[in-house]
Amino acid sequence: MLSNQQKQYLSWLLTKKSADNSIDSLASTLIDSQVDLNPHQVDAALFAFKNPLSQGVLLADEVGLGKTIEAGLVIAQTWAERKKRILIITPANLRKQWYQELYDKFGLKAAIFEAKIYNQLKKEGYTNPFIQEEIIICSYQFVKSKANDIKNIAWDLVVIDEAHRLRNVYKKQNITANVIKQSLAHVHNKVLLTATPLQNSLLELYGLVSILDERVFGDLESFKSQFIAGDKEITLPQLRARLATVCKR
């Protein structure tokens, strides 16, 4: 729970920033959440809402700094605005953790989707079982296997946890990443979470950002010529400036 001092600080912060981000109602989400929030987590949630021209954001705080809480604030606010087509994609072993975190900290109920539930809903006559009045949590592999169903829904928000699993999407042979990217291409609000957006190559950053919005860097060859082949003293500041519009760390 928030202390009185924290509530006062967050109220001041939101009052200061709400004019730019037009999310005054996030204040009620913050007060109602059952979690001790840090200012950087609130700032990340505000960042996720602030750019109407972007199709999503990459939240890349280091391990232990609360990226799940940041995403939870975005999810809670989206739900409060009655935008209820929300999908969370996560490694299979983290599905129950997401389910519990949403319920315990934000009072949000979700459904963990897997083959058994999906098939049962099909038998009950659902043309697309993903059309539900609750938040849906499912694994990477399940999303890949049901890509057509995912593609045919106008999602209000998609959150991808451990998003570094998709960083090699620029390689055509990475089938899972490419199928997921294509199934979400129509989604205008995506939140990618990863503590390791970059490990081996700048192309990994390109891959992750391309999942959000291919307009940020253009095609692969343009990215290579502009940010890899050039003088690093010149290109790195330019790369940081471009990333600042979609990435928060």
The answer to whether the pTM exceeds 0.85 is: no
Terminal alpha carbon distance of the chain:
25
Q: What phi-psi label fits residue 125: left (phi over 0), alpha (psi between -120 and 50 degrees) or beta?
A: left
**How many Å apart are CA 113 and CA 95, to the nearest integer?**
9
Q: Are 153 and 128 in contact (CB under 8 A)?
A: yes
Where along the chain do its domains lie?
Answer: 4-248
For 4-248, the fitting CATH number among 3.40.50.720, 3.30.230.70, 2.70.98.10, 3.40.50.10810 is: 3.40.50.10810
pLDDT tens-place values along the chain, 249 residues long: 566 666 565 555 554 444 444 445 555 566 566 666 666 677 666 766 676 556 788 888 665 567 888 888 889 888 888 899 999 999 999 999 999 999 988 889 999 999 999 999 999 988 999 998 899 999 999 999 999 999 999 999 999 999 999 989 988 889 999 999 999 999 989 999 988 767 778 888 888 889 988 888 888 888 888 877 767 777 788 878 877 788 877
Q: Are 49 and 19 in contact (CB under 8 A)?
A: no
